[in-house]
Amino acid sequence: MSRIVGIDLGTTNSLVAYVDEKTGLPRVIPDRDGHALLPSIVSFANEGVLVGAAARRQLVRRPESTVYSVKRLMGRSYEDVKEELCYFPFKVLPCEGIVKIRIGSREVTPPEVSAIVLKSLKERAEAHFGETIEKAVVTVPAYFNDSQRQATKDAGRIAGLDVVRILNEPTAASLAYGLQRIREGVVAVYDLGGGTFDISILRVKDGVFEVLATNGNTRLGGDDFDRALVVWLLDDIREKHGVYLGRDLEAMQELRLAAEAAKIRLSSDERTALTIPFDAFTYHREITRSELERLIERLVDSTLAPCRMALADAGLASADIDEVVLVGGSTRVPLVRRRVQELFGKTPHSQLNPDEVVALGAAVQAHILAGGITNMLLLDVTPLSLGIETLGGIVSVLIPRNTTIPTNARELFTTSVDGQRVVDMHVVQGERELAKDCRSLARFELSGVDPMPAGMPKIEVVFLIDANGILQVTATELRTGKAAAIEVKPTYGLSDADVERMVEESFAYAEADVEARLLIETRNEADTVITHVERALAQGSHLVAADERRAIVEALDALRGARDGSDRDLIREATTAMNHATEHLAEIMMDAALKGALASRRAGEIMEK
């Protein structure tokens, strides 16, 4: 049985843990200096690559070649992250749907940077056990989409680790607390780290976890607290010393580190002093906890809406929550604890070190997978709905959001154009009615379809989400029997991936979206009628009188005009008028068709005799 370690690959800090065979308890593996937390920072110096604390020391001296918070870039496109790039002193460039980081003449991808962090943890574990480590459970925020999860697996592969399971961080945390021992109950896991916020509502029953709902914000964490404090310090420095340091990279990094250190001290102290020696002057300032709280209050309060949304998705009230678990270094901030306690009306669990619980839980999951613990099941849910774009850009959802995974779904589709040989498949993720407002996940072609009239082909689309939350889509044309299976590689080329915003927008635009969907459906109906009438005119216009023909053509023009407008009632009226104008023609043609059919049957009967 090969050993599997648990790894928390964090935005800010990463850790590796294992389950001690003797005690059965999970433990983090410290480095030679006794530090469990490895800062997720990589510095590309001329002499070689530095990682962790050594890289962190380069933040000030080499800001352009020291990469931090790379988790924010994992599996994302330039479009996704361009607004955040102003916070990074290193150069981020678009590159075939993903981003690359330019360090001098060198270019690296986010998974390559993460792999350096993973490799360092792998080596730490290997030194600890005196054996090669090849397998790991790696955690990701619950809101990571498929591409971000895939990028995380890639990082493992590059580091020489087989990522046997991608585990949601809140799920891991609940395992670390051993909450499987509760006979039955509902747990809220509140995880505020350096760069991400996750809230998860889990049900525990007879040793089984089920994630009822998840929500959060992939762009909120302790980094934002630091930033708020830095902005405040910049103002104060300008007032006191008459200089604005906002464009000085080195000074900004210095300020960032000083701000974070002060913030951390203010979690235990009521007031603290800040001294930063710059070249021209030394900046000194006292700051109190309540001053900090005023700066970050809005950020802290913004975590409460996702909590309420998760509760609503789970169909629960805050009074239904039995246990609250705090995860992430930022939950050490007293204001955060107060707000969480107020919201749920109970004292949260915080016995375990909040920045270690995720790694500890990953170790427990690794132990389960390695066969150390049996009869425990872990269920997760899909953070966003998954579907296919259909005619007119409408989304057909196959797997609704918050569906327990692993899961699969299948649905039948058909073509809208006669003789179609190639069917474009567009897989989207999101809560909006129209594909253009959702996140584009993958596009592929189902080709080699036998030409058939529109509506005849039967295209079966199957969605499969495995236990790691990775999505596979296949499309098969059933009628011809020639099953063409398609493999979808989750692309890194993504549009908007901010899940929280997408969910919020789905509420904000609900009415407009439904209206847009109804308009498209009405237009699709009109298009079908137009096609039928055009075909009927081509085949049977000689069957009706000239003025009747003229009336049909006029109704057709009117319908075409209405169809291009956006007045749903007008399109429907024109469609009705069109049907009315062609009633007689349809009757005649039906008659002709029937007579033809009868005639041939008679002919057949005669022949039989």
Q: Give the residue numbers annotated as catalytic, written as ranges.
A: 8, 71, 169, 191
Q: Which is nearer to Mg ion, 80 or 191 (CB)?
A: 191
Q: Which is nearer to ligand ADP, 223 or 431 (CB)?
A: 223
Q: Which is nearer to ligand ADP, 89 or 457 (CB)?
A: 89
* Residue 332 partner contact from ligand ADP, Mg ion, none using kind-dependent CB cut-offs of 5 to 8 Å: ligand ADP
Number of residues that bind ligand ADP (CB under 6 A): 21
Counting Cβ atoms within 10 Å, is residue 296 exposed (0-12), middle (13-18) or buried (19+)? Answer: buried
Kindly list the distances between the CA atom of residue 327 and the CA atoms of 147, 190, 361, 505, 570, in Å, as whole numbers in the listed order: 24, 6, 11, 27, 56
Assigned token pair, 295: 């700066």
Element (H, E) at 191: strand 184-192
Taking residue 102's Cβ as centre, other Cβ atoms within 10 Å add up to 15
216 near ligand ADP, rule: CB under 6 A: no
Q: Which is nearer to Mg ion, 326 or 555 (CB)?
A: 326
* Residue 66 partner contact from ligand ADP, Mg ion, none using kind-dependent CB cut-offs of 5 to 8 Å: none
- Binding part of the chain for Mg ion, among 10-18, 208-216, 272-280, 369-377 by CB under 5 A, reads 10-18
Judged by DSSP in three states, 272 sits in strand
Do residues 411 and 398 lie in contact, with contact meaning Cβ atoms separated by under 8 Å?
Answer: yes
12 near ligand ADP, rule: CB under 6 A: yes
Q: What is the CA radius of gyration of the chain?
A: 30
6 near Mg ion, rule: CB under 5 A: no
* Residue 13 partner contact from Mg ion, ligand ADP, none using kind-dependent CB cut-offs of 5 to 8 Å: ligand ADP
Element (H, E) at 148: helix 146-158
Do residues 214 and 198 lie in contact, with contact meaning Cβ atoms separated by under 8 Å?
Answer: yes
Q: Which amino acid is at 24?
A: G
- Binding part of the chain for ligand ADP, among 95-103, 207-215, 221-229, 461-469 by CB under 6 A, reads 221-229
- Binding part of the chain for Mg ion, among 101-109, 192-200, 509-517, 592-600 by CB under 5 A, reads 192-200
Going by C-alpha positions, the residue among 507, 498, 493, 471 that lies closest to residue 144 is 498
| Beta-carbon-side half-sphere exposure of residue 487 (alpha carbons within 13 Å) | 1
* Residue 441 partner contact from Mg ion, ligand ADP, none using kind-dependent CB cut-offs of 5 to 8 Å: none
333 near ligand ADP, rule: CB under 6 A: yes
Residues 233-272 that bind ligand ADP (CB under 6 A): 260, 263-264, 267
Do residues 22 and 150 lie in contact, with contact meaning Cβ atoms separated by under 8 Å?
Answer: no
193 near Mg ion, rule: CB under 5 A: yes
Going by C-alpha positions, the residue among 442, 503, 472, 402 that lies closest to residue 142 is 402
Helix axes 289-301, 334-344, angle to 10 degrees: 40
Kindly list the distances between the CA atom of residue 416 and the CA atoms of 412, 423, 529, 531, 578, in Å, as whole numbers in the listed order: 13, 10, 13, 11, 21
198 near ligand ADP, rule: CB under 6 A: no
Residues 303-332 that bind ligand ADP (CB under 6 A): 328-330, 332
221 near ligand ADP, rule: CB under 6 A: yes
Position among 223, 323, 477, 500 found at the interface with ligand ADP (CB under 6 A): 223
Strands of 234-311, DSSP E: 271-277, 282-288
- Binding part of the chain for ligand ADP, among 119-127, 192-200, 367-375, 591-599 by CB under 6 A, reads 192-200
Q: Least distance to ligand ADP from the beta carbon of 60, Å?
A: 17
Between strands 282-288 and 323-327, the pairing is unpaired
* Residue 150 partner contact from Mg ion, ligand ADP, none using kind-dependent CB cut-offs of 5 to 8 Å: none
Q: Least distance to Mg ion from the beta carbon of 328, Å?
A: 5
Position among 5, 9, 10, 387 found at the interface with Mg ion (CB under 5 A): 10
13 near ligand ADP, rule: CB under 6 A: yes
222 near Mg ion, rule: CB under 5 A: no
Cβ partners under 8 Å of residue 183, min gap 6: 205, 206
170 near ligand ADP, rule: CB under 6 A: no
11 near ligand ADP, rule: CB under 6 A: yes
Position among 355, 433, 437, 500 found at the interface with ligand ADP (CB under 6 A): 355
Element (H, E) at 224: helix 222-241
Give the sign of the dihedral formed by CA 314, CA 319, CA 322, CA 327.
positive
329 near Mg ion, rule: CB under 5 A: no
Report the Cα–Cα distance between both ends of the chain, in Å, rounded.
78
Position among 10, 63, 306, 469 found at the interface with ligand ADP (CB under 6 A): 10
* Residues at the site binding ligand ADP, with contacts judged by CB under 6 A: 10-13, 193-196, 221-223, 260, 263-264, 267, 328-330, 332-333, 355
* Residues at the site binding Mg ion, with contacts judged by CB under 5 A: 10, 193
